């Protein structure tokens, strides 16, 4: 009886509490991508963005499985709300799930579907990822105009309906630009807010340099090439301005019928040198979900002269190409690569001849000593000997000596010998041999 009374009291106590209003469902939507950076290399634009690391309400872990990137070419950006009406999708970035340690910070209301786990190996939350927008001919001209509904006499925009439509027309004299926007998606397919619109000015890419060649010394490898645009490009170092067509007429809309699709490049011509594999795989599609790496030139900063030098590496084939760089700010553009040039430097450079060779007679022998060489690929020294009066000297050591002293114990009584030393390097299969050191003559000492 007593246990039943206690249980009844607990039930009455719990039942006295008041039930509040039901909480709204907890919906996770990834935060927006903050910005998109763009760099043009030939016909490709490398787009780099940072994968959002939190949800729109700043909760963790972020619920994101992919990011879709859209591009549009025009002289002015479409309205943000209508960007997708005229843009084309240029990339889909698969995003890997956050690290397991993040999952226990905030309880997940719904387990992610199996497809979310299948995205492992994609872009990493909170880190930058790069994809390629490979420009086609259609993406280098003005894109489709944005259609905005207009009601005659109305002072404010009206909703879509049966109202007449008007096409927006950008200023014909404005240069073409490429606009981008990125949209993240949750595991349930809910889109997050779109990123701010990023823009990249489209300019005429500089010509590919020609005449790439390589020369090497025992210390350096030097590349040189003809300036982009040839001799005229070198003298002017800027494109010639186009003269207006006296016969050109404007159409009924007031736009030039032969307007240039892109702006001319500005600024001095500079160069980037790239080391490439002799046979590379075909480029991946720009619509793939995998991230890519923007090619990194071997020079630290763009070169102002058509020449580049670095330390030589013998015995290994290396292939290079050069791209011209023009433009500034948001219009930095690299042109197409020069033809690939491969070179395999061969070490044909012998060490310096040893110096200050000295002979010291001893009982039954002759001791030699000389100055050490400083070459990094030095293998050692060979000692040469002959008889006085005979100009021909022959080696008396079978293998290179690593020491700078040697004692000849094979000398005969009463003969005067001539000595010299040569240095050899580590080149295979046949080492390079230096010239002779100074010659010395000596006779062994007798007891």
Q: 197 with 210, same domain?
A: no
pLDDT, mean of residues 232-246: 48
Residues 213 and 131 in one domain: no
For the segment 66-93, the average pLDDT, to the nearest whole number, is: 94
User: Is position 372 within any domain?
Assistant: yes
- Greater confidence (30 vs 241) lies with 30
Cβ neighbours for 439, distance < 8 A, ≥ 6 positions apart: 357, 393, 418, 419, 420
| Cα 205 from chain centroid (whole Å) | 18
Q: Which residues contact 35 (CB under 8 A, 6 or more apart)?
A: 49, 50, 195, 196, 198
Q: Return the SS3 of 410.
A: coil
pLDDT for 331 equals 63
As a whole number of angstroms, the distance between CA 445 and CA 443 comes to 6
* Whether 98 and 124 share a structural domain: yes
The answer to whether residues 192 and 209 belong to one domain is: no
pLDDT one-digit tens code per residue, 299-355: 999 999 999 999 999 999 999 999 999 876 556 789 999 999 999 999 999 999 999
Higher per-residue confidence, 184 vs 167: 184
Q: Are residues 219 and 363 in the same domain?
A: no
Token look-up 């023009």 returns 326
- CA dist 79 and 397 (Å) reads 85
pLDDT confidence of residue 202: 85
Per-residue pLDDT at 284: 42
Tens-digit pLDDT profile for residues 88-144: 999 999 999 887 654 444 444 444 443 333 445 789 999 999 999 998 888 889 999
Rounded to two decimals, what is the model's pTM? 0.67
Q: Does any domain span residue 156?
A: yes
CB-CB contact of 356 with 419 (8 Å):
no
DSSP letter assigned to residue 415:
-
Which residue from 72, 56, 73 is spatially nearest to 64, judged by alpha carbons?
Answer: 56
The pLDDT of residue 405: 96
The CATH number assigned to the domain holding 431 equals 2.60.40.10
Q: Where are the beta strands (DSSP E) in 250-364?
A: 270-276, 307-311, 318-326, 333-334, 341-343, 358-362
Tally of structural domains, the chain: 3
210 shares a domain with 336: yes
Assigned domain for 245 exists: no
Residue 8 lies in a domain: no
H or E element that contains 91:
strand 88-94
Mean pLDDT of 149-158: 57
Last residue within a domain, chosen from 305, 320, 346: 346
Structural contact between residues 134 and 40, judged by C-beta atoms closer than 8 angstroms: no
Q: What is the 3-state secondary structure (H, E, C) of 156-186?
A: CCCCCCCCCEEECCCCCCCCCEEEEEEEEEC
Is 426 found in the same domain as 329? no
pLDDT at residue 61 greater than cutoff 80: yes
Residues 143 and 90: their CA atoms lie apart, in Å, by 14
Q: Which has more confidence, 164 or 315?
A: 315
270 in the same domain as 183: no
Asked whether residue 195 falls in the same domain as residue 58, the answer is yes
- The rounded mean pLDDT for the chain is 80
Between 258 and 75, the more confident residue is 75
Q: Would 194 be classed as within a structural domain?
A: yes
Q: Give the model confidence (pLDDT) of 265-315 as tens digits.
A: 567 899 999 998 754 444 444 444 457 888 899 999 999 999 999 999 999
- What does the chain come to in residues? 447
**Residue 433 resides in a domain:** yes
**Position 121 in a domain:** yes
**331/186 same-domain check:** no
Q: Which domain holds residue 225?
A: 204-238+263-280+295-346
286 domain-assigned: no
Considering the domain architecture, whether residues 392 and 334 belong to the same structural domain is answered as no
Whether residue 208 sits in one domain with residue 309: yes
Q: How remote is the C-alpha of 201 from its chain's centroid?
A: 21
CA distances from 236 to 118, 210, 227, 353, 403 (A): 55, 17, 11, 49, 60
pLDDT, greater one: 231 or 302: 302
């Amino acid at each position: 009886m007593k246990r039943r009374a206690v249980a009844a009291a607990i039930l009455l106590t719990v039942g006295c509490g008041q039930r509040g209003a039901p909480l709204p469902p907890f919906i996770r939507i990834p935060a927006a991508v903050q910005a998109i950076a763009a760099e043009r290399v030939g016909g490709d634009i490398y787009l780099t963005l940072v994968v959002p690391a939190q949800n729109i309400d700043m909760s963790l872990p972020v619920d994101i499985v992919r990011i879709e990137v859209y591009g549009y070419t025009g002289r002015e950006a479409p309205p943000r709300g209508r960007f997708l009406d005229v843009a084309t999708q240029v990339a889909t970035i698969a995003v890997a799930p956050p690290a397991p340690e993040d999952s226990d910070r905030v309880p997940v209301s719904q387990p992610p579907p199996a497809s979310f786990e299948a995205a492992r190996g994609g872009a990493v939350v909170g880190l930058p990822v790069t994809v390629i927008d490979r420009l086609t001919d259609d993406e280098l001209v003005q894109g489709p105009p944005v259609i905005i509904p207009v009601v005659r006499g109305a002072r404010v925009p009206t909703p879509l309906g049966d109202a007449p439509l008007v096409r927006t027309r950008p200023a014909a004299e404005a240069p073409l630009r490429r606009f981008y926007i990125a949209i993240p998606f949750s595991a349930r397919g809910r889109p997050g807010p779109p990123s701010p619109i990023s823009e990249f000015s489209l300019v005429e890419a500089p010509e590919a340099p020609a005449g790439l060649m390589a020369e090497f010394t025992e210390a350096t490898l030097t590349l040189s090439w003809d300036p982009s645009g040839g001799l005229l490009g070198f003298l002017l170092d800027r494109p010639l301005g186009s003269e207006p067509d006296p016969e050109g007429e404007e159409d009924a809309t007031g736009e030039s019928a032969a307007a240039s699709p892109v702006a001319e490049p500005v600024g001095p011509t500079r160069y980037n040198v790239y080391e490439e594999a002799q046979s590379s795989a075909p480029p991946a599609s720009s619509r793939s979900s995998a991230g890519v790496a923007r090619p990194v030139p071997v020079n630290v900063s763009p070169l102002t002269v058509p020449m580049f030098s670095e330390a030589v590496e013998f015995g290994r084939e290396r292939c290079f190409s050069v791209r011209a760089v023009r433009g500034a700010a948001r219009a930095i553009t690299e042109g197409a690569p020069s033809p690939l040039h491969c070179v395999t430097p061969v070490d044909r450079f012998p060490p310096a001849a040893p110096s200050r060779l000295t002979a010291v007679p001893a009982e039954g022998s002759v001791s030699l000593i000389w100055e050490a060489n400083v070459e990094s690929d030095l293998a050692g020294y060979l000692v040469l000997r002959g008889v006085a009066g005979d100009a021909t000297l022959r080696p008396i050591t079978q293998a290179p000596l690593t020491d700078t002293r040697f004692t000849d114990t094979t000398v005969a009584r009463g003969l005067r010998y001539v000595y010299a030393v040569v240095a050899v390097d580590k080149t295979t299969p046949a080492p390079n041999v230096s010239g002779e050191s100074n010659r010395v003559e000596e006779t062994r000492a007798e007891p």
